Copies of this chain bind each other. A is one copy, B any other.
Amino acid sequence: MPKTKARISISLDGYMAGPKQSEASPLGEGGEALHEWAFKQAAFKEMHDLGDGGECGVSDEIVRASLANLGAVVMGRNMFGPVRGDWPDEDWKGWWGDDPPFHCPVYVLTHHPRDPFELDGGNSFHFVTEGIEKAVAEAKEAADDQDVTVGGGAATLQQAIAAGLLDEILVTQVPILLGGGERLFDGLAAGAAKVDLVDVVQDAELLHLTYRFG
């Protein structure tokens, strides 16, 4: 059965991005420290064409598994880019250049309609104005028998969890204090989702936790 899933890194205080996000600092102040571990993994380097020589341990296996079998991506508008409000033009094509690392259709949640477009490497971007249910439904159809990833940010993931659309999330906890920013598990009502802890992998200071939503 194809799954709708997510993979995210959080700090000890629960933040998946630091405070004061901006175009110059899309992960917020201190937010890069959440992802340094991922940038080192061989699977991540391959995905982003960052060369050879990455780490090949248990964290690499986890990143590799999270990237396998992906048929479509859903993301919030802030993850697609820094442009807010109406699209002034069609110039902004995402943070990732001519050949984004997804190689599948990407569904961007926005209140502002925009025509879809294609980039190299099997990447296409589609703009969904009817909410998270519609975006996930379109992504699942496009993904066919493969998995859908909800990329973020926090608000998009919270909407997906609250709506019962997410089957599984892999949370990598990095033992740092960010002190502010966007929390992954925030604004969800008591009992908003039934959660099972299904896998725990420790790799030195990292903790990879897989939760399944029921």
A→B interface (CB under 8 Å): 12-14, 18, 29-30, 175-180, 183, 185-186, 188-193, 195-197, 200, 202, 205, 207, 209, 211
| Cross-chain contact B177 with A192 (CB below 8 angstroms) | yes
**Complex alpha-carbon distance, A188 and B29, angstroms:** 15
**Complex alpha-carbon distance, A211 and B205, angstroms:** 10
| Cross-chain contact A207 with B205 (CB below 8 angstroms) | no
Question: So how many copies of this chain end up in the complex?
Answer: 2
Closest chain B residue, CB of each to CB of A181: B190
| Cross-chain contact B177 with A195 (CB below 8 angstroms) | yes
Residues of B within 8 A of A191 (CB): 30, 176-177, 179
A16 CB, nearest partner CB in chain B, Å: 13
Residues of B within 8 A of A178 (CB): 190
**Complex alpha-carbon distance, A154 and B193, angstroms:** 25
Residues of B within 8 A of A209 (CB): 207
**Complex alpha-carbon distance, A200 and B200, angstroms:** 9
Residue of A12, A193, A207 with most partner-chain B CB within 10 A: A12
| Cross-chain contact B179 with A14 (CB below 8 angstroms) | no
| Cross-chain contact A176 with B205 (CB below 8 angstroms) | no
| Cross-chain contact B188 with A197 (CB below 8 angstroms) | no
A132 CB, nearest partner CB in chain B, Å: 18
A116 CB, nearest partner CB in chain B, Å: 35
| Cross-chain contact A197 with B190 (CB below 8 angstroms) | no
